[in-house]
């Protein structure tokens, strides 16, 4: 590789790393507890006891209260509000019902109630003031909403560019050194450079996956907006010109669920989006179904049912970009393989923290040397060391 090419990649790696490092460190530190959010919740919260343990909330098992009844109870607890979402747990008879002052209210105005369909009783509300919720908001958007999400998405993109440029520089730098070389008896800078390179290349695949999935997650709102303006609009083309359906005219959810199940057999309902929100049209219940296998349970298929008449309108698999979002969300936090995978995710997160911290240390130290000296270090295969005896110095 020519020196000019090495210099260009060096500058790309340097500046992309500098810009994103502080935010990546924040994401790593907040991401560590989020990896174990299920385990933390189990230790800090009292697990609900269901009237029919082991009965799923698919809406078909005997002994479960009708969806219409559950919605009526939730609305009675929040007078003056309208339903926004209804979500299910297919391993237990639990469900959540989200209400808000308006169908298009922001998340900050929504209330999520927890219910047990086997008893018809409320089991509490989602705690949005706890430590884990604070950490999640900081990790997701830094309490800035969509601008914060998009900003962190850009930081994730810079992180991926820094990874790629680091790999490009790693090849010429290590061509005269054995893999895993740690020159701990030389200068502190050289020791941390070797740690930076070793841990970086070890966690390369993981950092790339988590960085890429983080970018996709950050653009969730534009992704759903694209789906709503594209595929969803095509599915409800026959309703163009009709006004928004008033909540007073909503029909039976149980009847709508039955119609959707008939159109999408062999799947389990994950959640219902009510008319007027970002996940549905102004006139439909959008019932999102998930597959019944570990491979397909992350892939959703929306079935649209006329909320007034309860008649089935259309069902279509989500487009590839939306499916990529659904797959990336659990992969980002290691939610696919239980506790062993989460532990691996945590170890690799610690590796990344060291890579980022050592990179910051090296950047602060590099100011003692010129760019040309550092480029020659890469060009020499790590043998011409700036600041060492016989090395190239500014």
Three-state SS letters, 114-165: EEECCCCEEEEECCCCCHHHHHHHHHHHCCCCHHHHHHHHHHHHHHHHHHHH
Distance, CA of 158 to CA of 17 (rounded, Å): 7
How is the chain split among helix, strand and coil, in percent rounded to 5? 55, 10, 35
pTM for this model (two decimals)? 0.83
What pLDDT score was predicted for residue 56? 45
Q: Residue ranges per domain, the chain?
A: 3-38+136-218+344-379, 55-129+230-332
What pLDDT score was predicted for residue 393? 38
Please say whether the dihedral angle defined by the alpha carbons of residues 271, 274, 278 and 283, taken in this order, is positive or negative: positive
Give the mean pLDDT of the chain: 87
205 burial class (0-12, 13-18, 19+ CB within 10 angstroms)?
Answer: exposed
What pLDDT score was predicted for residue 141? 94
Half-sphere exposure of 373 toward its Cβ, with a 13 Å CA cutoff?
15
Residues in the chain predicted with pLDDT less than 50, given as ranges, are: 54-59, 390-394
What pLDDT score was predicted for residue 177? 80
């Amino acid at each position: 590789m020519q020196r000019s090419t090495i210099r260009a990649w060096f500058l790309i790696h340097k500046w992309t790393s500098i810009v994103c490092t502080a935010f990546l460190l924040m994401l790593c530190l907040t991401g560590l507890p989020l990896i174990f959010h299920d385990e933390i919740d189990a230790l800090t919260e009292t697990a609900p006891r269901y009237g029919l343990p082991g009965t799923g909330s698919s809406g078909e098992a005997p002994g479960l209260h009708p969806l219409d009844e559950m919605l009526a109870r939730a609305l009675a607890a929040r007078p003056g509000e309208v339903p926004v979402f209804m979500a299910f747990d297919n391993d237990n008879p639990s469900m959540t019902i989200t209400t808000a002052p308006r169908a298009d209210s922001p998340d900050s105005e929504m209330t999520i109630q927890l219910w047990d369909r086997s008893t018809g009783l409320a089991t509490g509300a989602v705690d949005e003031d706890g430590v884990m919720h604070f950490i999640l908001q900081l990790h997701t958007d830094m309490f800035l909403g969509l601008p914060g999400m998009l900003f962190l998405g850009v930081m994730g993109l810079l992180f991926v560019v820094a990874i790629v440029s680091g790999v490009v520089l790693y090849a010429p730098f290590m061509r005269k050194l054995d893999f895993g070389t740690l020159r701990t008896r030389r200068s502190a800078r050289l020791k941390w450079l070797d740690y930076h390179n070793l841990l970086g290349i070890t966690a390369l695949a993981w950092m790339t996956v988590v960085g890429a999935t983080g970018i996709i997650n950050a653009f969730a709102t534009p992704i759903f907006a694209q789906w709503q303006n594209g595929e969803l609009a095509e599915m409800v083309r026959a309703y163009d010109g009709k006004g928004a359906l008033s909540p007073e005219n909503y029909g039976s959810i149980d009847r709508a669920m039955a119609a959707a199940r008939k159109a999408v057999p062999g799947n389990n309902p994950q959640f219902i989006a009510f008319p007027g929100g970002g996940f549905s049209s102004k006139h439909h219940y959008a019932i999102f179904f998930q597959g019944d296998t570990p491979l397909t349970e992350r892939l959703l298929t929306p079935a649209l049912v006329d909320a007034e008449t309860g008649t089935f309108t259309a069902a279509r698999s989500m487009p590839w970009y939306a499916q990529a979002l659904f797959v990336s969300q659990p992969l980002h936090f290691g939610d696919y393989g239980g506790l062993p995978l989460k532990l691996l995710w945590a170890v690799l997160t610690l590796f990344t923290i060291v890579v980022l911290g050592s990179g910051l240390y090296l950047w602060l130290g590099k100011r003692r040397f010129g760019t040309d000296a550092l480029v020659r270090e890469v060009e020499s295969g790590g043998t011409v060391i700036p600041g060492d005896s016989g090395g190239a110095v500014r």
